[in-house]
Every structure is written in C-alpha cells, then in structure tokens.
Amino acid sequence: MNRERAATSEEMEAIGEAVGIQASRGAVFALVGDLGAGKTHWTKGLAHGLGYSGVVTSPTFALAQEYRGGRLSAFHFDFYRIESTAELLAMGWDEYLDQDGVIVAEWADKFPELLPERTVWLEFKVLADGSREIISR
C-alpha cells in the first residue's frame, strides 16, 4: 500500500500526471473518496501525463468523457449517477475495457464486480488540515 499527499490541486494533478506518464495500455484506475477529495484533479493530471492537452472535466452529468490525442486515450467514467450494472453495460463498458487506452472510474466502489483484476484502486481522503491523501491498494 502506497500513500501520497497533496496540499493543493496542482500537487494532486502532478501526482496524476506522474502516473499518466508511466501508464500502459489497458490500465484501469478505480477512484473512491468523498466529493472534493481530488479525484478529478488527479484524473486531469493523468490525462496530461498521457499527452492530452485539452480541458479535463468531471463526467458527473455526462457520465463518461473521452480524452484522445495523447500517447494513449483516457476514458473517464463517473459511476455516481449510474443506477445499475445494466445501465453501465448499456453504455458500452465492456467495449471500453477492450480499447487501447486507460480507464479511470470515479465512485468505482459502486460496481466493483465490473472491474477487471488488473484494476488499481486509489482511495482519496481529505485530511484535517485540508490536504488530500491518496492510498493505493
């Protein structure tokens, strides 16, 4: 288990960017943690680490965002508003898992049964001093 700490959103993005630089095709990252814990900032950094230069936003209302044009594509899901496994599968979840890219799933603990064994789980916490901690398991 690894732990990393970020005091600012820029530091959170830098942590994600370092992961993106090293990420390989087919990587899946499952993000869990409260609202405001830094999941989207981390994902923004990851996408930039993959070489994506555009704007990265939370897919809360779109449910999924695609970031193409870098070394690898990033597929960013937000399970928060998805009600069932059937709904997620109808969105093409299985097809995304087969694409040449990297998947990031926020609120991944809603549907752990749909994530492959290779998934890297990251827990985001807000600490008492306002900084964030990421625990990988």
Per residue in 96-112, pLDDT (tens digit) is: 999 889 999 999 999 99
**Main-chain dihedrals φ then ψ at residue 136, nearest 5 degrees:** -95, 140
**Cα 118 from chain centroid?**
14
Q: Full-prediction pTM beyond 0.75?
A: yes
> Environment class of residue 131 by beta-carbon count within 10 Å: exposed (0-12), middle (13-18) or buried (19+)?
middle
Looking at domain 2-136, its CATH class is: alpha beta
pLDDT at residue 55 in the model: 85
The two structure tokens encoding residue 40: 């989207």
Q: Where are the domains of the chain?
A: 2-136
**Cα 48 from chain centroid?**
13
With contact defined as beta carbons under 8 Å apart, do 32 and 124 qualify?
yes
